[in-house]
Amino acid sequence: MQAKRGQLWISDILLATMVYSVLLLLTLVLWGHISSSYSSVRADGQAAAALEAVDFNLFSQGSPSDWELNFSNSTVPGIISSGLFLSEAKSEKLESMSPINCATDYATDYNYTLLRQRLGAGGYYVFVNSSEFYFGCVPVSAVRAFSSSRLVELNGSVVRVDVVVWR
């Protein structure tokens, strides 16, 4: 018996190349999607952790509890006097430390940057807003923004305080 020789057709090569190319393209597209989803989840986790830290530190008495008298000696600038009572002096001090021009100063203002660090915001910017005071800059150009709200008491009335961390 004679052995048959295999024949390789040009159509076989083209078909194999097309299948390989489609599989490679599909793998690259899926990999890019999975990679970006993972990055998004990780960034969301970091922002949520920053919001939690800011929320925890802001709604405390601060350290020391009279930090509004001497900010340079403070480690945590909280706005609560006791329980859920908002301190008017602390909230006014916080407001006075906001950047003057949010369009240009929010990234470079020394007091704002120092305050963000002491609140535990990490690389995120902070905006605090209520009917009685505000601090920081509105996140108009935010890529990511996370927020929380709390009800506190000030001078016998209930005040809603919104906290936003953004990048």
Cα–Cα separations (whole angstroms), residue 164 to 18, 26, 160: 50, 39, 13
Domain contains 69: yes
Domain contains 18: no
Query: Distance between CA 72 and CA 114 in Å, rounded?
Result: 10
Query: What pLDDT, on the 0 to 100 scale, is given for residue 128?
Result: 92
User: What's the whole-model pTM score?
Assistant: 0.69
Asked if 135 and 127 touch (Cβ cutoff 8 Å), the reply is yes
Instruction: Give me the domain span that covers residue 88.
Output: 43-166
Domain contains 3: no
Query: What pLDDT, on the 0 to 100 scale, is given for residue 110?
Result: 81
Asked if 135 and 95 touch (Cβ cutoff 8 Å), the reply is yes
Domain contains 14: no
Domain contains 115: yes
Cα–Cα separations (whole angstroms), residue 135 to 10, 48, 99, 108: 71, 19, 8, 15
Q: For 66-104, give the secondary structure using H, E and C.
A: CHHHCHHHCCECCCEEECCEECHHHHHHHHHCCCCCHHH
Which residues, given as ranges, of the chain have pLDDT below 50?
Answer: none
Query: What pLDDT, on the 0 to 100 scale, is given for residue 57?
Result: 92
Domain contains 36: no
Domain contains 22: no
Q: Is 54 exposed, middle or buried (0-12, 13-18, 19+ CB in 10 A)?
A: buried
Domain contains 97: yes
Domain count, the chain: 1
